[in-house]
Every structure is written in C-alpha cells, then in structure tokens.
Amino acid sequence: MSIVRLIVRKLLNFLVHKEQYSILVLLVLLNIKEKNKGKEKRLFSSSLDKITVLALDCDKYRGDLEALSLHEGIRILFMSQKPAGWLVKPFYSELDIVRYINAKKDTDDAINHKKAYNFMRKFLSIFYKYVSVDCVTTVNYRYPEDYNWTKASDNLGVPHIMLYRECLIASERVYDRVTLRKSEQFGKFHGSHIITHNKICKQSFVDSGYVSSNKVSVAGALRMDNFIKLIEQNKAKKQQIKKKKFILFYFPHNINLFGENESVELKLPDKYSYHNKIWEKRDELFEDLHNAIIELALEYPDIEFIIKPKNVMVQNKSWNFYKGVVKNSEVNVKNLPNYKVDEDLNVSEAIIDSSIICALQSSVVLESALANKRVIFPLFYDFLDTPYSNDFFWINDIELFDVATSKSHFKKVFKNILCVSAPIPVNIQDKRIKLFEKWFDNVNGESLSLYYDTFKKVIN
C-alpha cells in the first residue's frame, strides 16, 4: 500500500470513529454520478416525478443501469463499492460478511457488526436529507460493503431492491449449492424485494428460506431488451455478414465445471462428491481448444478469430495459463492479424455479427441460440461420459447445438459449419427460443417495463 493510500485510509477511519457525518456525507456525494439515457453526468438532474434509484456497486450491473436509465420514469444515481466500504471497514477486521452475520451474541464480531449498522443508520439518516432517493439497488447479497447500507436504508423507509444477476442456476448441483449457501450462511433477506431473471432462480431463494415468495418477482434480464431489438433489426436488414467471425467466449482452464475443492462450510450430498476432485483432462482440453483456434486462424486468414474474456478473467492469475498455452503453441499470434483478444468487445453486437460461436457455461449460449447462431461446445476427452457432465448447463439440450469431442473433431465441425449456408431448422430454433424463455422469461423485450412496474409497486 502506498503512503498516500495509507494516509487516506487512516483519515477515513478517523472520520468514521469520530462520527464526522457531515464530512463523510460530502465525500460520498462527490462520488455519486447520474446515468441519463445511458450517458454519465456528474451533476444530478431534477428528480421531477421520476423514481430515483441509487445503485450501489455500479461496476457489477453489466448494462442494467444503462437500460434502466432509458426509461422516462426512472432516474439513476450510482456509485462504486468504495464509498460504502469507507464507512464499514473501520468496524471489521476482514470483509467477510458471513462471519459477522453468524457471530455469536456478545462476541467481539457481533458487537462490531452492530456498531457498523448503527453508524450506517445515523449516517444515512443525514445523507438522505441531501439526496432524494426512492430506493437503493444491489446485484447480490454477498458483498459486505452493501450489507449495512441496504439494511439501514430499508429500515429508514428507503426500500432495498436487489436486481439479482447470478440467475443461471442450470444444474442440480449448482441449484443445491446456491440454495444451501443462502440458507446456511446468509440468514434472512433484509430488503424489500428481489427481482430475478427466471422462475428457477426465484424458487432457489424461496427454497432456501432466505425470502418469502411474495417478495420475489421474475422480470427477465434488462440487457436482453436491447439484444432482442438488435436481432429484429438485423432480420429486417437481411444483410449478409461481410466478414466471417469466430468468437470464443472465453472460460478459464480452472472453470468450476471441471471440479474444485468445495467450501468445507457447505455440506452437499455425497452424490456430488465427484466435484471435489478436479477432472484430470481439464488442462488438456483447454490447451487443445486454443491450439485448434490458432491453427484455424492460420488456415483461414480471411476469418476473424476473437477471444472474448470478461475483464475479471484477464485480471485473474488463471489468465497466465492461457498466455502459457499461446506461447507454447509455436505460433506467434502477434503476427496473426486475424487473431485477437478483446475483453471490451460488445457481446450483443458481436453475437449478431458472428458466424460461429464457441462457449460453455455462459448465458451467451442462450443469446447465440436466440440469434440463430451455430454454437460449438468443446467437450473433448469423453467429457460427456464423466460425472462432471451432470453439471454441464446444457446437457439436456445438447441436440440444439454442435458438439466437438476432440481437437481434430472441433476443426472438422468448424469447417462443416462454414460449408453450410442453410439456416438452423425451424423445429430446432423453436426449442432454442423456449430454452431462452426458460432462463430469461420472455422474448418480447419487455423487461424494462416489468422492472419499472415492480419498482412502483415496492415504493408505493
């Protein structure tokens, strides 16, 4: 930690412990911006008759705030996770909210947890006099920086509405794991309402006992409204793709699908014990896939080959494994003008413009399916014969996509797709649409109006 950061941290701790609310309110206000029609503004507009949403953890919404800001009846104020963190870190020795939620009565952890809440309640009772807010939103229940802010807000009459995003609970083990995690570690929901993308995610919240059914709504994913519009616009244009594109929606070599050491705090049934051991072919599958892509890029210089990781993946140490595979491929990818890594690629536009897509445990599979795209699953080394395949999200819908069972087969499937110009059969596409609806509720682009109606209902 630099000297400057250390000084700032000590100063903030001093202000918190001395309960200098006025100064802290000013500092937080300086870190709030407005998102209007998708654009950021430092100065707030007048709230007028709009519902004002204060979005915490603004970096975690993945386009949802831009979508909400397009509604004429919604005003979006937002800030990063840092300001809320300033206010609670002085009370916690580590940011592990599970530890403090489950602290035994009268222990130091329980006492500090209560102090943090009481401080936040006093702070917000002043803060909300300066900022007109109808509700606060988050995207998850796991972030310690949010816990006291949202709980105190709700108790002060500013509803906390969770716009939950981790809704692709598409295997039995994952469903049981996330349901157990909520029930055993996070107690009860302390907000007013939760909005999920689909009914399965809602049921997980209810089954866990975390929240009652009447406090959860299903409204799809906000970002899908624009994606559905893009698909319709593309159909209307009836334009041929000018240059063929292959996109790998990157997954790390140590993706959860291939096993991991489960948290000892969560006791899952023995039938999932296979997942506690890492699949021995995990790294070989990853290496073969990326070598196949590089070799295809050499063979097809007129096709763009794009690797699209999430930003967080590039920052993770597992990214070094990818770089090692590329380095050992005997091909200098820097000399391949048609091969690139693009972490900032616009996902929706890229899917529309693509010719072939490769992915695994991702919602882009559903988006690509709805857009009538060919999707290859790289399931090498007899993966489908292993117990890990039980965790593959699309195991029961595999006939709707293309499956490659080895590196050579992947290249063959790729080439066959290039040669086929006929659209995906109607009966297959109809099933793909139903699969999209299962996980994103609708294909009519109505999510924004559903979210707005929910906000109005909760606030009133």
Residues 240 and 197 in one domain: no
Q: CA dist 303 to 327, 337, 347, 407, Å?
A: 22, 10, 18, 19
Q: What is the CATH number of the domain that holds 158?
A: 3.40.50
Q: Are 339 and 297 in contact (CB under 8 A)?
A: yes
Which alpha helices (H) appear in 328-444, and where do they start and end?
A: 347-353, 364-370, 407-419, 426-440
In this prediction, the residues of the chain whose per-residue pLDDT falls under 50 are none
110: left (phi over 0), alpha (psi -120 to 50) or beta: alpha
Q: Do 267 and 399 reside in the same domain of the chain?
A: yes
| CA quadruple 420, 305, 408, 387: dihedral sign | negative
Whole-number pLDDT of residue 423? 83
For the record, the structure tokens of 331 come out as: 């091909």
Evaluate whether 256 touches 374 at the Cβ level (below 8 Å).
Answer: no
Same domain, 40 and 162: yes
pLDDT of 238: 62
Considering the domain architecture, whether residues 181 and 288 belong to the same structural domain is answered as no
416: domain range? 230-440
Same domain for 140 and 93 = yes
Look-up of token digits 């819908």: 397
The Cα–Cα gap between 358 and 345 comes to 15
Q: Which pair of tokens denotes residue 283?
A: 């790294």
How many CB atoms are closer than 10 A to CB 71? 18
Q: Based on the domain organization, do 449 and 417 belong to the same domain?
A: no
Query: Are residue 195 and residue 253 in the same domain, yes or no?
Result: no
Cα–Cα distance list, 233 to 226, 349, 369, 448 (Å): 10, 12, 17, 19
- On whether both 453 and 434 belong to a single domain, the answer is no
Question: What's the whole-model pTM score?
Answer: 0.93
- What token pair was written down for 366? 């559903």
* Bridge partners (DSSP) listed for residue 446: none
Q: Are 350 and 373 in contact (CB under 8 A)?
A: no
The count of structural domains within the chain is 2
What are residue 161's DSSP bridge partners? 137, 193
